[in-house]
Amino acid sequence: MDVQSAIERLVKIRSTREEIVDYYKELFPQVKQLKNGKVLEAWKSHAASAIADQEGISKDSAMRRFQDRGGKHWYDKGPSREAREGYQELGLELPPILPKGGFKIEVGSVLYVQYSRECEKRTIRNAFTISGEGAEMLAVTFDEQIIINAYNNLEWNEDGYGVCAPPNVNVSPVN
């Protein structure tokens, strides 16, 4: 199976308010306590900016989605139909949700790697794992170079050996 097809069946596109909020909370966890006792959470501003850009509304309008009103928390009420559609569209622009431990890569027995001027055939007997930032980049770019680097025990973004032919891979989640 080609790399893109193998990866796409394992990742989940963010599509709900909760998934979008979780993404921004993880990316911007900073919290600031104001003198008046209110708390500013950095993720809200960043999420509101992205929503505003996506839906063509003002940032202030998008921020209202995260404000408590009348003693009720913003998350107690579900989003409107329009907001749900906006979250689905925004989710297409964000990195997908990956398996927790990354990807286990099994190559269909042969990998062609360019170590010098010539391509060399490598018989693969063991599976290897790609996790962390390498897994994130593989899920977004489907770059076969990341697989070649993992096979050669290199960092995902190192200048490594070349890819001679697209690898035939089986990719499974690492739990």
Spell out the per-residue pLDDT of the chain, length 175, in tens: 788 888 888 999 999 999 999 999 999 999 988 888 888 899 999 999 999 999 999 999 999 888 877 777 777 778 888 889 999 999 999 999 998 888 888 876 677 778 877 888 877 777 788 888 888 888 888 888 888 888 887 887 777 788 888 877 788 888 7
Helix-, strand-, coil-residue percentages of the chain, each rounded to 5 = 40, 20, 40
Pairing of strands 110-114, 31-33: unpaired
DSSP conformation letters of 76-145 = GSPPPHHHHHHHHHHHHHSPPBPPTT-EEEEESSEEEEESSSSEEEEE--S-EEE-HHHHHHHHHH--HH
6, burial (CB in 10 Å: exposed 0-12, middle 13-18, buried 19+):
buried
44 contact partners, CB below 8 Å, separation of at least 6: 24, 63, 66
Residue 74 has a CB neighbour count (10 Å cut-off) of 15
pTM of the predicted model as reported, rounded to 2 decimal places: 0.74
